[in-house]
Amino acid sequence: MLNEDVSPSVVRCNFVQNKAAINGGAVSNHGTASPLFSGCVFEGNSAQSGGAADNEITSGSPRYSGCTFRSNRATQGGAAYVHAAFFRGEGGPAFTNCVFTGNTAQQGGALYQSDPVPTTVVGCTFVKNGSDEGRAVRNTFSAGTLRLFDSILWQDTGTPGPEISNEQSRPLVSHCLIQGSGGSGSAWDQDLGQDGGGNLDTDPRFVGLADPDGADNRPATADDGLRLRANSPCVDAGTSEGAAGQDILGVRRPNGAGFDLGAYERGPIPAPGSGVPAPAVGVAAACVLGLACSRRRTRSGSGR
């Protein structure tokens, strides 16, 4: 899907095994495009940059809410790529309540950002992504424009890559659990970016890390292994900065004393038909605005 200066809403669509020669295996957003992807699954897509999603915007705000990015691959940004040397104005991409798992790249296992684009990552869970330069996130020439809140980066892989790799960039990291970070304070690994406070470096205590999508093998359902145990240090450890009013399953945020870290808030999961959008299930569960959703689509050429 190419969004050139257009802003569709794409709800509960699955993008599976698409391929682009250059940027954005499944989706490319250009110019002023400000699409909303809600409850979508991006799986097994590939490209040179942005295995699933490319964001080359000049002033747009592509939003990914409650989306699952899994097993996508690229040279840069296994799941998503953000670049815009001529970005102006406000906005910028936002990833909220998203799960990134099993994405791989040479640089930025899940996310690669280049250029000073004000990208926000809030309430996201990154596990088992892989890259030698930024196991989960690679960030270059973006100054301090990338901001991460209420997110978990845990057991991503790479040698020797840390979870976040920066080059001429100092992202703001606040209220995140990041493996190897040292946590907020004197032990904080300054190479990861600015310590915005509230950061942790301890076992997040997932319900079942070995099986991120749970027994039903579907992402964003009630049995997911990346939900939090009651004794998880991530429970109530977040900030309201940029936080959404519900999690990837439709659980109301904040529940209890505060916002939980990662894509899942501990709390009652709303029943289907309760008015809360249900998580994506199956392939092409629903499409809006006349957009075609297909199980497989192969592109070639420029990727545009």
**Under the rule (CB under 5 A), what is the footprint of Ca ion?**
213-214, 216, 218, 221, 223-224, 236, 254-256, 260
Least separation in angstroms between residue 215's CB and Ca ion is 7
Report how far apart the first and last C-alpha atoms of the chain are (Å, whole number): 9
Residue placing its CB nearer to Ca ion in the complex, 201 or 247: 247
Residue placing its CB nearer to Ca ion in the complex, 82 or 261: 261
Q: Residue 110: name the closest of 101, 121, 120, 122 by CA.
A: 101
CA–CA separation, 291 vs 304, rounded Å?
17
Least separation in angstroms between residue 294's CB and Ca ion is 23
The structure tokens 């915007």 sit at: 57
Least separation in angstroms between residue 219's CB and Ca ion is 6
Least separation in angstroms between residue 138's CB and Ca ion is 28
Residue placing its CB nearer to Ca ion in the complex, 164 or 200: 200
Least separation in angstroms between residue 235's CB and Ca ion is 6
Residue placing its CB nearer to Ca ion in the complex, 139 or 239: 239
CA–CA separation, 256 vs 242, rounded Å?
18
Q: Residue 259: name the closest of 172, 173, 146, 174 by CA.
A: 174
Residue placing its CB nearer to Ca ion in the complex, 115 or 224: 224
Spacing of C-alpha 191 from chain mean position: 21
Least separation in angstroms between residue 46's CB and Ca ion is 24
Residue placing its CB nearer to Ca ion in the complex, 79 or 237: 237
Which residues contact residue 166 at a Cβ distance below 8 angstroms, ignoring those fewer than 6 apart?
Answer: 139, 140, 191, 192, 193
The structure tokens 């040698």 sit at: 159
Residue placing its CB nearer to Ca ion in the complex, 203 or 236: 236
Least separation in angstroms between residue 211's CB and Ca ion is 9
Which residues contact residue 40 at a Cβ distance below 8 angstroms, ignoring those fewer than 6 apart?
Answer: 10, 11, 12, 13, 14, 15, 64, 67, 68, 280
Cis peptide before 35 (omega within 30 of 0): no
**Is the Cα dihedral 212, 282, 81, 199 positive or negative?**
negative
Residue type, 98: C
